[in-house]
Amino acid sequence: MVSDTDHVPPGGKAGRPRSERARRAVLHAVDDLLVDVGYAAMTMKGIAERAGVGRQTVYRWWSTKAEILLEACLVDAEEELTTPPRPDAADDLLAYLTALTEFLTTSPAGLAYRALIGEAQHDPVVRDLVHQAGLLALSAHDVLRRVRSSAPNMPDECLCAAQLTGPVVTQILTTPEPLPERLLEAHVAALLRAWR
Under rule CB under 7 A, residue 38 binds DNA: no
Q: Does 143 bind a second copy (CB under 8 A)?
A: no
CA distances from 148 to 119, 124, 156, 196 (A): 34, 34, 11, 10
Report in angstroms how near the CB of residue 47 gets to DNA at its nearest. 8
Q: Which is nearer to a second copy, 85 or 166 (CB)?
A: 166
Is residue 138 within the footprint of a second copy (CB under 8 A)?
A: no
d(C-alpha 9, C-alpha 95), whole Å: 57
What does each C-alpha distance from 143 to 15, 19, 175 come to in angstroms?
A: 46, 38, 26
Say if residue 108 is exposed, middle or buried (CB neighbours under 10 Å; 0-12, 13-18, 19+).
middle
Give the footprint of a second copy on this chain (CB under 8 A): 2-8, 19-22, 38-40, 114-115, 117-123, 127-128, 130-131, 136-137, 155-156, 158-159, 162-163, 165-171, 173-176, 179, 183, 186-187, 190-191, 193-195
Give the footprint of DNA on this chain (CB under 7 A): 3, 5-19, 21-23, 25, 43-46, 48, 52-57, 59-61, 64-65
